Amino acid sequence: MASSKGKYKTVSGNLAVNRKATHDYTVLEKHEAGIELVGTEVKVLRNGEGGLLGAWCKVDESDQLWLMQVRIPPYAFGNRFNHESLRTRRLLMHKAEIRRLRAKVEQKGLSLIPLRLYLNPRGKVKVELALCQGKNQYDRRETVKRREADRAAQRATRLYR
């Protein structure tokens, strides 16, 4: 008998990655959240389109978590009920977790930045959020120097094997 699973079940891994976030911010904590999407958005993400560059999260007064500035282009085969590209999307987490994140963001001046959109093993789209602290220019330079030194050390060990 044929499986009732969708045709996208074999797709796994990252749907969108925010590579610039680790360059601009120091990641302190990582959290997983569900995301409220419409059908055409899921289809676009599974096709590999969509981007997290410049995306951020906010917690409003009613303790709801919102994902801002995520670019998911309209579905090519959609109709008049197609989604907007830059609409605000609600994130799904436990209320206590949201309150804890809100307290940290308000008190310590930290930011909530989405690192990646991915499919979990059950085929649901999830967001990996990071509680981040912004880096200064000299911190970024130090990170680059450290990375280059590590690469040079690895090259040196490979040559002497």
Instruction: Show Cβ contacts of residue 72 under 8 Å, excluding neighbours closer than 6 positions.
Output: 41, 44, 45, 49, 50, 83, 85
| CATH code (residue 34) | 2.40.280.10
| pLDDT, tens digit, 9 for 90 and up, residues 26-70 | 899 999 999 999 888 888 998 888 899 999 999 999 999 999 999
Nearest C-alpha neighbor of 119 from the set 3, 9, 20: 9
- State how many domains the chain has: 1
Q: Is 92 helix (H, G, I), strand (E, B) or coil?
A: strand
User: Residue 93 domain-assigned?
Assistant: yes
101-127: average pLDDT: 91
Prediction pTM value: 0.77
**83, 75 contact by CB (below 8 A):** yes
Q: Does residue 8 surpass a pLDDT of 80?
A: no
* Domain around 66: 13-135
130-157: average pLDDT: 87
Neighbours of 8 (CB within 10 A): 14
User: Residue 69 domain-assigned?
Assistant: yes
